[in-house]
Amino acid sequence: MRPSTKPSAAPVVSVVTPAYNEAENLPLLYAELGKALDNEVRWEWIVVDDHSTDATFKVVAQLAAKDPRVRGVRFTRNFGSHRAILCGLERMKGECAVVMAADLQDPPEVVPQLLAKWREGLKVVWAVRAKREGVSPWSLMMSRLYYFMMRRFVGLKDMPAEGADFLLLDRRVAEALREFHENHFSVFAMITWMGFPQAGVVYDKRARLHGTSGWSLEKKLKLALDSIVSFSYQPMRLISGLGFFSVVGGGLWLAAQLSEPAGLGEDWTRFAAVVLLVSGVQWMMLGVLGEYLWRALDEARRRPRFLIEESTE
C-alpha cells in the first residue's frame, strides 16, 4: 500500500480505534484496513491512546508521519475505552464512522458490509458476533448475562442479544452523541437508546493476536453499573418493593409472635436473625441510593470527560 501525499477529498468513513497497550497490533491493523478499504472508499483512521504503558502512541505517530490519513491522540491518564471512542468521534471528518478495537479481533473486511447497509439508509449498523474465538466459557456467560439484562431489565431491546462493540454509525448519530455530557455511561447503550434506524451484520470475532485485554473484572462491573444507573430507574423501584415487603413481613412476624403465650422472650435468636437480615437489606438499599447520588454529584462537577496529552495533528 502506497498512500498518496497529495491532498484528498474528505473521507467517507472515519475508523475510530481506542487503544491501550496495542503497539504490536496497530501496524497489522493498519495493513488490514488498507487491504479492506483502499479500493472501496476514502477513509481515515483515528487512534485514541488511552494512556498506554507501552509504545502505542509512538507507533501511531510513526504511521501518521507516513500516511496523512492516520491521526492519533494520547490521553493524560487512563480514562477508559468508551471515552476514547467519544474522543475519536469528535474528531471524525467522514460521513460515517466505524468503531473497532485495536486487538485484531474484529476483521476489517467486515467494514464494506457495514457500509453497504449504511448506504441503504440505516444510521447504525452493528457487527453482531456469531462466534467468539479464544474466549472462556465464564466470560461468554457473563457477557450474555449483561446483554440479557440490558435488553430485558433496562429496556434497550434493540441492543444485539449476543453483544456488539464493532459498529458503524452515521455522522448524524455521532453529532447527536456530542449533545450528551454524562461522565458515567456506556457509549453502545447510549447509541441504542437514541433510537436511530438500526440493523446488524453477523460476523465471527477472532481471537486476540498479541497482548492481553485491558478489560479487568473491576472495569466490567463498573460498566454494568453505569449502564443500569444511566438508563433505568428499576433499581430504585426494586428497593422500594423490598422495603414494602420487609415492612409487611416484619409486621406479620411480630403479630404471630405476640399471639403466642411466650411472646418474644423465648425466641430471641430468630428475632436477632431477622434484625440482621433486615439490616442487610437496608445496607443494600443505601448502596443503590449511593450509586445514584454519587453519579449525580459527579455530573454536577462538570469535569471534562478526558484530557489530551499529545496529538499527531
| Per-residue confidence (pLDDT) for residue 262, from 0 to 100 | 55
Q: How far is CA 169 from CA 29, 95, 242, 281, in A?
A: 20, 9, 41, 42
Q: In which residue are the cell numbers 444485539 written? A: 160
Per the structure block, which three cell numbers stand in for 175?
453529532
pLDDT at residue number 99: 96
For position 1, what pLDDT does the model report?
Answer: 44
Provide the pLDDT for residue 287. 77
* Contact present, 189 and 156 (Cβ < 8 Å): yes
pTM for this predicted structure: 0.73
C-alpha 147/C-alpha 153 separation (Å) is: 10
- Structural domain boundaries of the chain? 13-231, 234-301
> In whole angstroms, how far apart are CA 120 and each of 12, 117, 160?
15, 5, 20
pLDDT at 160: 75
Task: Give me 155's grid cell.
Answer: 429496556
**What angle in degrees, to the nearest 10, is found between the helix axes of 217-231 and 187-194?**
30
Indicate the SS3 state at residue 19.
Answer: strand
Per-residue pLDDT of the chain (313 residues; tens, 9 = 90+): 444 434 356 789 999 999 999 999 999 999 999 999 999 899 999 999 999 999 999 999 999 999 999 999 999 999 988 999 999 999 999 999 999 999 888 999 999 999 999 999 999 999 988 776 656 676 667 667 776 777 777 777 777 767 678 999 999 999 999 888 887 778 888 888 888 999 989 888 877 666 566 656 666 677 677 767 776 667 777 777 777 777 777 677 667 666 666 555 556 666 666 777 777 777 777 777 777 777 777 777 777 888 999 999 8
Predicted confidence at residue 136, as pLDDT, reads 66
Contact 146, 221 (CB under 8 A): no
Please report the pLDDT score of residue 302 as a whole number.
79
C-alpha grid cell, residue 39: 479500493
Q: Is domain 13-231 in CATH 3.40.50.620, yes or no?
A: no
